[in-house]
Amino acid sequence: MTTYRAFEVTGSRQFRLVERELAEPLPGQVRVKVEYCGVCHSDVLGVEGLRAHPEQPVVPGHEIVGVIDAVGAGVRAWRVGERVGIGFLAGHCGECEQCRRGDFVNCADQPQTGSDVDGGYAEYAYARTSGLARVPEGLSSVDAAPLLCAGLTTYSALGQIDACPGSLVAVQGIGGLGHLGVQYAKALGHRVAAIARGTDKAELAAKLGADRYIDSSAEDPGQALQALGGAAAIVATAASGASMSPLVAGLAPRGRLIVVGAAADPIEVQTSELIFGTRTVSGSLTGSSIENEDSLAFANARGIHPMTEVRPFAEAPQAYERMLSGQARFRVVLELGA
């Protein structure tokens, strides 16, 4: 086999199925035969042209699971035949100041998979070894794919909480991120409140492990959380700053609102809500490759599974549109001949 198929995109949503030459991986890289690739909302960075050079083709996709089939020069810790995952962060450099201080997520020289470098809407993908995560036995590749971004994002946010088991933790938004956040929070031993608009997701939230469902269209979520004793933390996944603003009032003293849903509008906070109670609002960006490995292992051990819709590789453009429509329940995954 000397070529492979890939969906390139240029400009905004200009998909093109192409044949590419199969090349050897560069030093420090591996080549991965892709089995599954999740379709994530962050794919808009590549597909909608929200990158430095949208006129240049790029392969979208950053929830990649596959098997290493070639290793580049200097690679010592990874071998052909290993099943691995590649997430949103394509591998830290190990040399910048942030890396030298162990802050790999904020590496100054770390490309983003599927927008800065080619991703997983393809039969093969290439990656720095510093961006790889091993996939544990017993975890299916189709389940592992969404966990590499959506799962890691919520798992990493929950890992920042300084709260004892049994503490109240809220997850706002029961969608692609939130349906995993509820499961992770419950598995970590927290008392979980799920927050969403309307009642249509109340039954699902309970099945996922939520102890309480708050309909934010019928009651103020901040007041509802305070009636439960106040939340030690709230993980905000809905892409709406306006919907996040009332949540700060629901935090317990020293509580923390952790924002993982990217929104176009701002979050508005009363300064008194932060000062009196020593509350915090912070953001959280995915996690490092070893944290991704930890997240996969935790999900595998605790039976955490994404809800997926699997589409064939040939339907990648349609799968992207399905994801963007907001109608998917909840993660769309491309199958590439697993």
Q: Give the pLDDT confidence score for residue 337 in this predicted structure.
A: 75
Structure tokens at 55: 């006129």
CA 270 to chain centre: 29
The correct CATH number of 161-283 out of 3.20.20.60, 1.20.272.10, 3.90.209.20, 3.40.50.720 is: 3.40.50.720
Whats the size of the chain, residue-wise? 338
Cβ–Cβ < 8 Å for 67, 32: yes
CA 16 to each of CA 37, 113, 317: distance values in angstroms, whole numbers, following the listed order: 17, 18, 9
In single-letter form, the type of residue at position 136 comes to: P
CATH architecture observed for domain 3-149+287-335: Alpha-Beta Complex (3.90)
The pLDDT of residue 338? 52
Residues of the chain with CATH 3.90.180.10: 3-149+287-335
Q: Which tokens go with 330?
A: 């909840």
* Tens digits of residue pLDDT in 28-45: 999 999 999 999 999 999
CATH 3.40.50.720 domain span(s) along the chain: 161-283
| Per-residue pLDDT reduced to its tens digit, 198-225 | 999 999 999 999 999 999 999 999 999 9
- Regions of the chain where pLDDT drops below 50: none
Tell me if the pTM is above 0.85.
Answer: yes
SS3 sequence, the chain?
Answer: CCEEEEEEEECCCEEEEEEEECCCCCCCEEEEEEEEEEECHHHHHHHCCCCCCCCCCECCCCEEEEEEEEECCCCCCCCCCCEEEECCECCCCCCCHHHHCCCHHHCCCCCEECCCECCCCECEEEEEHHHEEECCCCCCHHHHHHHHHHHHHHHHHHCCCCCCCCCEEEEECCCCCHHHHHHHHHHCCCEEEEEECCCCCHHHHHHHCCCEEEECCCCCHHHHHHHCCCEEEEEECCCCHHHHHHHHHHEEEEEEEEECCCCCCCCCCCHHHHHCCCCEEEECCCCCHHHHHHHHHHHHHHCCCCCEEEEEHHHHHHHHHHHHHCCCCCEEEEECCC
Q: Hey, what amino acid is at 311?
A: R
Residue whose C-alpha is closest to residue 135's, from 78, 175, 201:
78
Task: Please tell me the number of Cα atoms within 13 Å of 154 on its side-chain side.
Answer: 34
End-to-end CA distance of the chain: 17
At 327 the pLDDT is 94
pLDDT on residue 315: 98
